[in-house]
Structure 1
């Protein structure tokens, strides 16, 4: 069964020791994030597989979905639930052929055309942004709230807002049809990750995100 959820943690190792990195993920999972994406931009394939296995131990403990950024092979080798693919990665339709119907495949979409292609090729959800400027070391193009809403309106699959998200900014995507919020630095670099997760959950509840029940 495909298990998605509204508060989506994307990992970032910046300024964290290995032990701190794992501890933040564990704390955030315990505090209430619904799914996790392992995003590691550096290191060998063997190192990435080791990280995937270690993070999967945490997500399994809390019965949460783990996705791997970009790497279909690492997702398969680690037993993760699936992958998240950017515009420069393998196309969604090819990933679906490789991973099969039960895998979760997410895709980045910054335009209506990209959203339509990803949805038609079998993506289970979209990540759309950056809505706000971001401090992560990932190339991003800012996406307006109007474009985000248009993408939400144009597809039937869940759409997550990403990019510089903080609890006080969640209201910017209220009434857009957002299925959830993807968070990176604001939790991974937080002094108190558990409290930050709770602040996000409260802000999402106040702004009725998700606007309707998500389907597995």
Structure 2
């Protein structure tokens, strides 16, 4: 499966200031974002459904792949392109059963062993991190900052695409891609930016720079 994911936005409305999640996604899409994941773990199921419906409409019009974090039911309800799963979520096989074999199923990992297991289970792509220290995600202390060396090790161990996530900015994104990532996933770098559209473009430039170094 060929999935564009140079720049991958993970939404989180409590970091978006006076902008709505929909407004942030709209700006990121205008900036050329390649992939959007609805996270919004602080929201109720109903609130996530409403947000997912709005974001699905935006991304569908733009031709941008859209997945929902954790909630297979919400992904199915809004006809998302797929779902992104973590350690505490349903297995990849269960997501396929609910969403169909053409759905995009991503998996969060932090070790080579977990990455290989996710690939063997049928994941389409991996989110690897946290690469750098971050306050945006709930991460165990021993997985708090894996560094670009781990990204490189995972990239060498699997054949599916992967994005680095966690503490990534336009200043360090090139290092993550140079280490072997196909792209970078960010929350704060776009969501909390004064100009999310411009921040998306800057991130894409950094990814291109990193790819030139691979």
With normalisation by structure 2, the TM-score equals 0.91
Contact 2:21/2:51 (8 A) holds in 1: no
Contact 1:174/1:209 (8 A) holds in 2: no
Give the length in aligned residue pairs.
211
Contact 1:179/1:210 (8 A) holds in 2: no
Residue 91 of structure 1 pairs with residue 91 of structure 2:
yes
- 1:193 equivalent among 190, 193, 196: 196
Contact 1:162/1:182 (8 A) holds in 2: yes
Please tell me the root mean square deviation across aligned C-alpha atoms, in Å: 1.9
* Map of 2:47 onto structure 1: 47
- Structure 2 distance, partners of 1:15, 1:147, is 28
Matching of residues 131-150 of structure 1 within 5 Å: 131-139=131-139, 141=143, 142-150=145-153
Relative to structure 1, the CA distance from residue 16 to residue 196 in structure 2 (aligned partners, 3 Å threshold; closer, same or farther) is: closer
Contact 1:31/1:194 (8 A) holds in 2: yes
Relative to structure 1, the CA distance from residue 148 to residue 19 in structure 2 (aligned partners, 3 Å threshold; closer, same or farther) is: closer
Contact 1:132/1:165 (8 A) holds in 2: yes
CA apart distance, 1:101: 1.2
Three-state SS of the structure 1 residue aligned to 2:52 is helix
- 1:153 equivalent among 152, 156, 159: 156
With normalisation by structure 1, the TM-score equals 0.91
Residues 172-211 of structure 1, C-alpha deviations (whole Å, 9 max, x = no match): 2243221111011010000011111111111111121795
Three-state SS of the structure 1 residue aligned to 2:117 is helix
CA apart distance, 1:135: 2.5
Three-state SS of the structure 1 residue aligned to 2:135 is coil
Contact 1:111/1:151 (8 A) holds in 2: yes
Three-state SS of the structure 2 residue aligned to 1:178 is coil
- Structure 2 distance, partners of 1:84, 1:210, is 29
* Map of 1:106 onto structure 2: 106
